[in-house]
Amino acid sequence: MAGDRTLEGKVAIITGAGGGLGRCHALELARHGARVVVNDLAEDACAQVVEEIREGGGEAMAAAGSVTDEQAVAAMVAGAIDGWGRVDILVNNAGILRDKSFAKMDLADFRAVVDVHLMGAAICTKAVWAPMREQGHGRIVMTTSSSGLYGNFGQANYGAAKMALVGLMQTLAIEGAKYDIRVNCLAPTAATQMTGGVLPEEALARLDPAFVSPGIVHLVGSDAPSRAILCAGAGHFAAAHVTLTEGVQIGSADNAAAEVTRQWSAIVDRSGEIVPEYGFTQAEREVAAAQAGSGEALARAQ
């Protein structure tokens, strides 16, 4: 496998890697030198991707099983450690779709999507977390989506799960920083079984999933960022951010509700927005604004 071998000696687990994006991720990481654990529900699909990697001169092992099965996931991680001594990279890619408008959606379909995307990622991440902490190194990628970041008709379940993964990433990146565990999100657009009925044929032709996977290499490399949301598709790469506007200090007077309405345009003005380093930034700034407002009121009274 020709590549720059920047991941030589690293061990990567990729879920949902029997086809589509996961397969492309597996092949790309192997091309850059990683040993790859190929996970998928279907044993045959796992075996086929493993064979592709080995034929290209790489190293791979299959680990069939559901990401929602805690015992199967634990066995997968144990197998990687037993075989190769460590786990450096986890790409949470496994997913399903159950698209319907919210009015027509069965709650069972809502739960199924959340279980695979969110709980599956949490289960897999929990299984590698202790080994990564112990070795002082780890790279984890959550697969989010523009449907979660910005919404999409008919995907309330999918969008909710995908945005939840952003929240999971934000917190784990903070908790993992002292152990050099870097956690990021990938928001891919690709022609796969999951998108086959969603996008027009002309668009699908340009959205080869292989065009997304180079972004994964950066997110799991030695110089990887942390808390990034990388949007990738058709060879185009961009970053999304969860931002906080400068806002307006209104206070708690009886007319506060009316003031929120009156000053709405200033509240949502994005000219001074920031990307908070942690969630408590919001509270810190709110308290500071309230204290400043009280000081100004006191000065006026004097």
The residues annotated with a catalytic role in the active site are 158
* Residues across the chain: 302
Which residues, other chains included, contact 175 with Cβ-Cβ below 8 Å and sequence gap of 6+? none
